[in-house]
Structure 1
Amino acid sequence: MKNNLKVQRAIHNYTQADLADSIGVSRQTINAMEKNKYVPSTVLSLKIAKLFKLPVEEIFFLEEDD
């Protein structure tokens, strides 16, 4: 699964630490998601989408090989 989390974070003026604190995870988790090394749970994906006021599909998306 790919994402544009880093782009959305920049648009909303969040640091990795700010986003992590807002959704209750570590900064390292945000970093891993941005590098596509960690696939978030459904609940975590929904929390991020709600925070950014966007549909989940605008932040996270499947590649053909996923």
Structure 2
Amino acid sequence: MSIEVVFGRHLRKFREGKGLSQEELAFRSNLDRTYISLLERGKRRPTINTIFALAKSLDAAPSDMIKMVELELATDITGREP
């Protein structure tokens, strides 16, 4: 599975966990709602600036967002958690 798809899936989990709509997350992070949608569907690659903006808006550490992706990708490759 691609990094973009995995990141998007976790972004959606973070967003829904905070009870935010895509529109509200976009407003808080100064991004466009359609861009949030594209990220969540794995159609775009976020820049480091985007990851930091999203993390701040979600009250999360950027490293936590990346770690979730890293763990899932490592699990997909090996079939077990690292």
TM class, shorter-chain normalised?
0.7 to 0.9
Q: Which has the higher contact order (CA 8 A, sep 6+)?
A: 1
Q: TM-score, normalised by structure 1?
A: 0.80
Match of 1:57, as an amino acid? S
1:5 maps to which of 5, 11, 19: 11
Structure 2 unaligned segments of length 5 or more: list them.
75-82
Greater strand percent: which structure? 1
Structure 1 unaligned segments of length 5 or more: list them.
none
Partner of 1:40: 46
Q: Once superposed, what is the RMSD of the aligned Cα atoms?
A: 1.6
Equivalent pairs counted in the alignment come to 64
Rg larger for = 2
1:54 maps to which of 29, 43, 60: 60
**Identity fraction in percent:** 19
